[in-house]
Amino acid sequence: MKELFLVVHSLCTGFYTTLKHIFRGPATELYPEYKRPLPARSRARIILTVDPDGRERCVACYLCSAACPVDCISMQAAENPEGRRYAAWFRINFGRCIYCGLCEEACPTAAIQLTPSFEHADRDILKMVAEKEDLQVDHCGKDPNYNFYDHAGVADAIRPKGGHINESPPVNVRTNMP
């Protein structure tokens, strides 16, 4: 008798639960009509950002290319007359990219960044290959104030040796002589 009560009770609970869900209304978001704003750090389309002073951040160090587990990043390094490295060409094959974000982690200059923009499907896989001009943007991305050359020990016209952040002026070692 107690068992029968248990059976009936659990049946009623089950049917009541499903009935409740009908009146709860759907939790669905209709996608093309409503686009949920994605978090700034969600990982999709890759961009190449610029310094706060508007110059390309990428120094073509190949670290992103080396970190990429699917080998979808390739580039050719070059050097401009003032001694600053840049990528002569830079290519990401989005047909292979798995959006893991390892390139972003590997980048020493915060140049390569992943953005929340994800609607880039295409029927032609060759259209998924992005060249440097498709990737290069004119803003700083997620790191608005970071400038690699403010920190690095490379002297140039604006930042002489010892003029970088957290760097002491050079010491003339000869003054230490007895």
Partner 1 sequence: MGLWLTGYAILMFKIAVILTGVLLLAAYLVLLERKLLGRFQARIGPNRTGIFGLLQPVSDGIKLLTKEDVIPQGAHRWIFLFAPAVVAATALLTFAVVPMGPDLHLGGRKIPMVVTDMNVGLLYVFAMASLSVYGVVLGGWASDSKYAMLGSIRGAAQMISYELALGLSIVPVVMLAGSLSLVDIVEAQAGRPFILVQPLAFVIFFLSAMAESKRIPFDLPEAEAELGSGYHTEYSGMRFGMFFLGEYVQMQVLGALTAVFFLGGWRGPFLPAPLWLLVKIVLVVTAMIWIRATLPRFRYDQLMDLGWKFLIPAALINIVITGFVMVGI
What track of x and - describes contact with partner 1 for positions 64 through 83 (by CB under 8 A)?
--------------------
Residue 4 interacts with partner 1 (CB under 8 A)? no
Q: Is 3 in the site for partner 1 (CB under 8 A)?
A: no
Residue ranges of alpha helices (H) inside the chain are 2-24, 63-67, 102-106, 132-135, 148-151
Give me the residues paired with residue 76 across strands. Answer: 89
Locus of tokens 């008798």? 1
Is residue 24 a contact residue for partner 1 (CB under 8 A)?
yes
CB of 19 to partner 1, least distance (A): 7
Least distance in angstroms from the C-beta of 15 to partner 1 = 5
Please report which helix (H) or strand (E) contains residue 18, including its range: helix 2-24
Q: How far is the CB of 38 from partner 1 (least distance, A)?
A: 22
State the greatest distance between any 2 C-alpha atoms of the chain, in Å, as a whole number: 103
Q: Does 22 bind partner 1 (CB under 8 A)?
A: yes
Closest CA to 48 of 127, 133, 105: 133
Question: Can you give the binding site for partner 1, defined by CB under 8 A?
Answer: 14-15, 17-19, 21-22, 24-28, 30
